[in-house]
Each structure stands twice: as C-alpha cells, then as structure tokens.
Amino acid sequence: MNEQALKELLYKMADDQLILGHRNSEWTGFGPLLEEDIAFSSMAQDKVGQSQALYTILHELGEGEPDTVAFMRNADQFHNCQLVELPNGEYDFSLIRHFLFDTAEAIRFEMLSNSSYAPLAQLAKKIKGELRYHTMHANIWIKQLGAATEESIGKLQQSLETALPYALGIFEPSPYEQELISEGIFEGEVALQDVWLKKVEEVIGQTKLTMPDVASLTPAFGGRVGKHSSHLQPLLDEMSEVFKIDPGADW
C-alpha cells in the first residue's frame, strides 16, 4: 500500500474536520435559537472527534501524537481546504458551508466504507450514523430557509455564491489520485465531486435558490498543499494558545 498517498488522504480529511469543528464550535452559546445552538454544537463535537480518530490512525502509521499534530503545526503544514478556515460570518454562511461540506463528507465516507485500507473502512462504517444526522440537519435547514422569506433566500443565495468556489476546493486533486484509486483506498476526488454536485443540485432544486454554473467557477485550490487564506494562522494561534504555554505539560 502506498503509505504516502494514504497519509496525504488522512491528513487532509483530519485537518478539514478539525478546522470546521473548531469553527462551528464558535457558535456554541451564540446560536440563533436555543435548540439549534445545541444541535450545531453536537455536530461540531462530532467533527472534532472524527478528526481525532483520523489523527489516531495517522499516529499508528508513525506520525506524531494526535494532540501534537493538531495543536503544534503552523498553517502551511495544514492540508485542509480553504472552505473550512473561513470565518463563520452570519448563520447563513455557516449553514451553507455546513451543507456543502457535510454533503461531500458523507459521500466521501460512504465511498471509504469500501476502502481497501481496513482502519479507514471501519471508521467510515462507525460514523455513518453521525453523518446521517449531519446531512439530515443540513438538508432540512437549507430547504426551510431557502424557501422562506425574501430575506432568508437572499442571504442564502449570497452565501452559496461566496462559498461555492471554496467548496470546489474540497476536491483539489491529490498528487496520488491514481495510486489511491488503483489500490482501492479511495475512489478519488473526481468521482466524489460528481456525486456531490448531483446531491447539492437536488437539494437546491427543492428551494428557491439558484444553483450557480459550477463549470464557470474557479475553484479555490491550494489548501491541500498548505496554501491558505489569512484566516487559518490566527485560528491556529488561538486554538493552541493554552497548549503552547507548555506543550509538554499534561493539561
């Protein structure tokens, strides 16, 4: 098995989950209604938990301890797509991002449940239920707000247009696409994006939102190779502020 290829895949997935889980946790206590505050927080916890599970697999492959890997790297060492590092903005942006990202994530793990790499296939099967809830949550919200008031439709439409080029960055091709596919580890970003686009269009089609022409957009690539927006490093500095007081300490 091509370990380089595998690690690249694991890192980008883990980094995506960690950074988005972190971002989404910023809403805890500030949500638009009490019950949603609770629901959104649970999904943020799921994401951070999933990233921990992925870093643990990496650790078993010889990488550093999950805490060290998550809390001690700089932005240029992170492989997350830029979509997840963007600030939360208003709830419309956070929801659209949640919808676009989690739709992709659910399909990715669905594909990985058949992965030739057993630890990944096991993890994919285990968290299937969590992802089921995440996509159910995202779809219901987008359908509701995407067909409610002029204000909510307008806000969602604008956020959709802002987020889409970044969402395409999820599928930035890896240098190891062919290895991953031929070794049966993962079906590849192209296949993932195809299924994702159909799902997204299906949900958007049930709202009053207009799906932009994806082919005409320039994807925000770079995240997978450590090129990030100016938002990631401050996020990491904040996240590791206490940890770095004494990285060797037991907190």
Partner 1 sequence: MYGGGNTFEGIKSTGLETEDPVKLAEFEARIERGEKIEPHDWMPQLYRKQLIRMIEQHAHSEIIGALPEGTWITRAPGFKRKLALMAKVQDEVGHAQLLYGAAETLGKPREQMLDDLISGKSKYSNIFNYPAFTWADSCFISWLVDAGAIVNQLANARGSYGPYCRALERICAEESFHLKYGHHCVIHLATGSQVQRDMMQAAFNRWWPPMMHFFGPSDKASVHSEILMRWKVKMSSNDDQRNQFLDMYVPKIWELGFTLPDPNLRKNTETDKWEYTEPDWEEFKRVINGDGPCNAERLAVRRTAEERGRWVRKALLAPKTEYVAPLA
Partner 2 sequence: MASLGCHFLLPLMMKSLDPRVTRLNIPEGELVPKVPLDQFGTFEVFVQIKEGKGYRHEGIVHAPNIDMAFLFAKEQFSRRMMCSGIFVAETRNVYVTAFTEDKDNVYSHIVDNIPEDGEEETYEFFHLNKRGKQHSHIGSVPAKSHQHALTLAKSEFINGDPVYNVWVIKTSDILFTNEEDKIMWDTLPDKKFRDASDYRASDKIKEFKERQQ
Site residues (CB under 8 A) for partner 1? 22, 25-26, 28-38, 41-42, 44-45, 48-49, 52, 66-67, 70-71, 90-91, 144-145, 148-149, 151-152, 155, 238-243, 245-246, 249-251
**Between residues 69 and 83, which has the closer beta carbon with respect to partner 1?**
69
Query: Cβ of residue 218: shortest distance to partner 2, in angstroms?
Result: 28
Query: Cβ of residue 83: shortest distance to partner 1, in angstroms?
Result: 19
Query: Cβ of residue 128: shortest distance to partner 1, in angstroms?
Result: 20
Query: Cβ of residue 180: shortest distance to partner 1, in angstroms?
Result: 27
Which residues form the interface with partner 2 (CB under 8 A)? 26, 30, 33-36, 38-39, 41-42, 45, 49, 87-88, 126-130, 132-133, 136-137, 140, 144, 238
Q: Which does 180 bind (CB under 5 to 8 A by kind): partner 2, partner 1, none?
A: none
Beta-carbon contacts of residue 250 (< 8 Å; ≥ 6 apart) = none
Q: Which does 91 bind (CB under 5 to 8 A by kind): partner 1, partner 2, none?
A: partner 1
CA distance 167 to 58: 25
Q: Which does 221 bind (CB under 5 to 8 A by kind): partner 1, partner 2, none?
A: none
Q: Which does 162 bind (CB under 5 to 8 A by kind): partner 1, partner 2, none?
A: none
CA distance 60 to 33: 41
Q: Which helix (H) or strand (E) holds 165?
A: helix 150-168
Buried b (16+ CB within 10 A) or exposed e, 43-54: bbebbbebbbbb
Residue 194 one-letter amino acid: D
Q: Which does 242 bind (CB under 5 to 8 A by kind): partner 2, partner 1, none?
A: partner 1
CA distance 209 to 140: 14
**Between residues 113 and 152, which has the closer beta carbon with respect to partner 1?**
152
Question: Which sign, positive or negative, has the C-alpha torsion 56, 79, 84, 247?
Answer: positive
Query: Cβ of residue 221: shortest distance to partner 2, in angstroms?
Result: 27
Instruction: Look at residues 185, 250, 193, 245 and name the one whose alpha carbon lies nearest to residue 3.
Output: 185
CA distance 95 to 100: 9
Two structure tokens written together for 146: 């995407």
Q: Which does 200 bind (CB under 5 to 8 A by kind): partner 2, partner 1, none?
A: none
**Between residues 24 and 174, which has the closer beta carbon with respect to partner 1?**
24
CA distance 19 to 37: 19
- Whole-number CA gyration radius for the chain: 18
**Between residues 67 and 183, which has the closer beta carbon with respect to partner 1?**
67
